[in-house]
Amino acid sequence: MQGKLLPGYAHLGLDKLFHRFPDLSIRPSNSLDLAIAGTIEFQTEHRDCGTILESFHLEIRVPQKFPRVLPRVFEPKGRIPNTFHHNGNRELCLGSLLRLQLIVQHDPTLLGFLEGCVIPYLINFAVSERTGKLPLGELEHGARGLLDDYRSILRANSDQCCLGLLELLTLKKRIANKKPCPCGGGKRLGRCHHKHLNKVRRRAPRSQFGVVLADLRRNLAAEARSRPRANTP
């Protein structure tokens, strides 16, 4: 098993990954990332398509800080067009960072990442290729799509509320509960929306929410810079 050759990567669960997807293997890399590539096969059922049996060639670049930093996944053969949820250079856009982080926390191994984040993306593409429909829905790119998804996850009633709740998730619970609830109801968090926020809090460490908040702020800043400036007299 290739996983046994890399004792420093025991937390990745490489043995389980290669058992589930035997065509995957570790490849040479010019960076500190662990490079894994090969073909993955899966089968699923869909009400409009019946049985779907698919295979995709993928390259997965796993950072040393996984699972705190998620892998980047590429489809180098060009089977999936760039118009279908890519970040550029054939990197797949698997979803919003917060949703992916929450999924990975259930099973913080590479197999958990593939089964929870990558294969749903591939199923979404396979079904859309056959039917023109996206069974898992679709987010806008950029800050707008992130905010929409985060508002859904956090049950926020506005963009500002969403940002405020994310910031509170970076604080210890006893400190956050004393802060005003960002929903605008005039109560402290501990007497308002704390129950749902605590459910989200239990699914990831505080440091992860800090990474998500910083990423969202970068996207918001980039979007603001790209807007055309109003003409001034």
- Which of 112, 131, 150 is at the close of a domain? 131
What CATH number did the domain enclosing 12 receive? 3.10.110
Q: What is the pLDDT of residue 12?
A: 86
Place of tokens 């956090």: 154
Q: What is the DSSP letter of 117?
A: I
pTM of the model: 0.82
Contacts made by residues 192-199, CB under 8 angstroms, sequence distance 24+: 193/155, 193/165, 196/154, 196/155, 197/154, 197/165, 197/168, 197/169, 198/173
Q: Are residues 38 and 67 in the same domain?
A: yes
* Dist. CA 36–CA 68, nearest whole Å: 18
Question: Does some domain include residue 136?
Answer: no
Which of 131, 150, 166 is the last residue before a domain boundary? Answer: 131
Residues 115 and 161 in one domain: no
**Residue range 74-114, pLDDT digits in tens:** 999 989 988 888 887 789 999 898 999 999 988 999 999 99
Q: Which domain holds residue 211?
A: 142-226
CB 53 within 8 A of CB 41: yes
Total domains in the chain come to 2
Could you give the percent of the chain with pLDDT greater than 90?
Answer: 48
